Each structure stands twice: as C-alpha cells, then as structure tokens.
A and B are shown apart, each in its own frame.
Chain A
C-alpha cells in the first residue's frame, strides 16, 4: 500500500492531477448542492458541452485552451441561466439544444482541422496527462477564487437556494447570486473538464450532493459531506485508475456511483427505521 502511494506520487503528472483534481472535486461538490436543489443540474451538463466546443476551437487555432474557454463558457453560463429563468421557453429543451449544438460545432471544427485523433478522445473522456504546469497555476487560482466566494456568500447562497421568492422580497439580490452560482460553476467546469472529460465532468457536480442528501437533513451537513465525499471519491478513483490502468475520469465517476449506492442504501435503511419509530409513536399515542 505504502509502496503504491510512493510510486504514485513519484510521477509529476499524477501529483499535478491530484492537486487540481482535489480542488475541482471540492468546488464542484459545494456548488453542486445548490445546482441540484435549484434544478440547475442541466446547466452544468450544458456548460461542459459548450466547454468542449470552445476547447476544440482553441486547439484548432493553436491558442491556450483555458484562456479561450473561460470567457466563452462564462458567457454561455449567462445565457443558459437566462434561458432557464425565462418561463416562456421550456428551459431544459433549450439547454439540450445549446449543448448538442456546441458539441456538434466542436466536432466539426476538429474534423476540419486536426482530424478526430486521440486528443479529441481525451477532451471527451478526460486525461490526467492533459494538465501542464501553466494549467496547474490557473486551476489553483480559479479554485481558490471559487472557494473564497462560496464561503463568503454561503448564507446568501442558502437563502436563494431554499426560497428565492422570500429572499427576493426581503432585499436579497437573487439575480446576482444566481449569476454568481452559474459563473462559479462555469469556472470549475472549464478547469476540471480536461481531466474528467466533457462528457463526465457534470457527474462531479451532481453525484456528491445527491449522495449526501440521502443521509443528511441540514444544508450545512450536506455541503460538508459532499465536499469530503467528492474529494474521497476523486482520490479513490484516481488510485484505482492507476492500479487497473483504466481512464481516470470514468474511474472517478464509478467511485461516485458506488458511494451514491452506498448512501442510498443507508438512507433507505434509516428511513425504514425512522418510519418504524414514527409508527410506534403514533400507535402509542393512539393507545
């Protein structure tokens, strides 16, 4: 076991992947709680597809991928949020249109320039080799910004997630905080996408919070549990991918899936127990 970890961390690229991955997993899980509860999960998925399109364009133009993707995906986040808040258009259908169109544009751009090669596969399904030293710095800064903003606005994020109407009526600028959530999500998706893959990054947002919600009944506990669970699953997934020589992104998703099943089972069992005691109590009262 010890030897395994020593071997693991002797590789520079694994160390880089570990640092970026843990930060991304942590931030994605924090934001994920709000996204899932606000029914914005689709936005996360849409943004990752838009991210793929922008990466493809950056690659074909020979530009730095993160510097091109970040502003474009932020713009997409703004548009997607507008669409999902506009009740006249069916939000989920519009998001599906945008995400498949972005994907199609990406594929066309790639096939016209570099051709469908191994790099494209890496964008789709992730590669831990994709992280360069420069990306590491950008990722750490972005993750740091997301973490600080999330902690500073934690209570406001709770308020707009729980009851936007009340928050709006009592003087909280709900539009601003929705936008903050969408922007932070966009940043994290762009940073995490190349390691996790455009097709798989949204699982990092959705799984940990869904798992935590099976067991915990307070927002704070769900947020903390999601963060820990997400980092743990990332670590386990990465180690497994190293040992079994499986793709990192997919292994991390599978680790999250396993955690979800476990939590769902515990939640179900506890629910049965709680239901049992509630029934006991009501029968006591009846007696």
Chain B
C-alpha cells in the first residue's frame, strides 16, 4: 500500500513556547493511526499543523497522491454561533465542497452521499432540522457525517466520540473500521487508550515531542504504552473519571 502522509520535524510555536516539537512519521493509505497523550501535549495542535490550519515554525508535511480536498476533518470543538441558521442537510453537504473544484452547485450524487452518511450515523431523520435546535450529541453526529462526506483518502478526527452514548460510540468505531478497510487512512486523537490500541494499527504518543511512534504491538511492549495503559486501567471507572485521570497523569 502506498504512502498517504509523511511529515518531518514538524514544530509549532505559540509565542515563545513549543506546542509541538520535532514530530516526524509516515503513514500508509490503509493505516489507522491513534494519537494519544495527556491534555496539553500538543495532539490537537499537531493535527491542525498537519491540516495547514496553524503555521509551521519548522518542518514539512506531505500528502502523497492526493490533495487537501480529499481530506475529512472533525475538530475537537467546532465553534458555531449558537443561533446560526443552517439545516442539517446544508451542514453535511458542505463536506462535499472540496470535491467540486470549480463547479458551483451540488449534484444529486452529493445529496445522495450526504443522506447515506447521515444514515450511517443513525441521523437520517434529522436531515431537515435546524442545526441550532439539536442536542450536543446530535450535533456531533451531524459533524461526523460531514467529515465522512469529505473523507476520500484520509480522515482526521479529534476526539470524535465526545458526546456520543456508548452504543453510538461502538457503532461509530465500526463505521471507522469499515471506512479504513476500504482504504481510507484514519488519524484519530483519542483519550480512550483502550479503544486506541484495540482499533488502531499505529500509535503516536505525544508529549510536545513524540514519546513513541510505531505499531500497536510495539506500543504495548514500550514503557510509554505500559505506563499509560496501566494508569488508565487504574483510574478508569467511568469516562469522566478517565478524563480527570489524564489531566493529573504524568509520564
């Protein structure tokens, strides 16, 4: 399988402080990379740097064989005005924008794809609703559907299961695995190390600089992996405690 994304010495600075330092890795078209690490370890910033949303202080990012318009993305927090008037279909369709190039309007094929992805996430009946009237979990599903619409070659997800109930979470991981099996590379930031090592095939453990990059089986044997997993298993009683645990946890 061909390379999908490679980066070298990726470094991002906020003011004088390093947010991400010297990250380099490669992933192939069929890879499923999970990025783990405690809060403030630069995971989200790294993802934004890979997507070209924050300027690089140093280093470079390369996509092989496809352009930015074949990328799907779900941000950790999507800031939308509380009273923004947009219905769900309009939001999901905007995920198909990148494939248009110069064509100004959506085709029937686009609408079909939007409906299909809403269906995958069990959100078909929301299609005509206004985005601002949805609950947090429903909004998350709509944004996921939009990300799926955009992901032709690679899908970036920043803590995608936030706000989903356990059943939907499991289903969503299933959808991701299917997508991945079809050759779409997945890059996912996750607080949930257990599912990261369960679903992913590669792990990047961040602490501003990378602590570990490699396959899941190597990660499980590594010190970084063992410490994090043990710590998780120690404090993980429910998802909230899990989050609190990561905040005070130091490698």
Contacts and interface: CB of A to CB of B under 8 A. Distances in A.
Contacts of A169: 51-53, 68, 71, 73, 75, 156
Contacts of B156: 169
A216 B75 CA distance: 27
B225 interface: no
Contacts of B86: 158, 162, 217-219
Interface in B41-88: 51-53, 67-73, 75, 78-81, 83-87
Nearest to A278: B133
B83 A213 contact: yes
B64 to A, nearest CB: 16
Interface stretch (B92-100, B168-176, B188-196): B92-100
Nearest to B81: A37
Given A166-B73, A169-B52, A170-B71, A155 B94 contact: yes
Contacts of A217: 85-87, 129-133
A170 B85 contact: no
A186 B34 CA distance: 46
Contact of A170 (B68, B87, B90): B68
A217 B147 CA distance: 22
A272 interface: no
A213 B85 contact: yes
Interface in B14-58: 51-53
Interface residues of B, number: 40
A165 B84 contact: no
B84 A162 contact: yes
Grouping DSSP codes into helix (H, G, I), strand (E, B) and loop, the B interface class, with mixed when no group exceeds half, is mixed
B75 A219 contact: no
Interface residues of A, number: 29
Contacts of B83: 213
A171 B75 contact: no
A105 B247 CA distance: 55
A155 B85 CA distance: 14
B236 interface: no
Contacts of B75: 165-166, 169
A222 B85 contact: yes
Interface string A221-246: 11000000000000000000000000
Interface of A: 37, 39, 151-156, 158-159, 162-163, 165-172, 212-213, 216-222
30 contacts: A37-B81, A39-B81, A155-B105, A156-B97, A159-B94, A162-B80, A162-B94, A165-B53, A166-B73, A166-B94, A166-B95, A167-B94, A167-B97, A169-B51, A169-B52, A169-B75, A170-B68, A170-B97, A171-B67, A171-B98, A172-B69, A212-B85, A217-B86, A217-B87, A217-B130, A217-B132, A218-B86, A218-B90, A219-B90, A220-B90
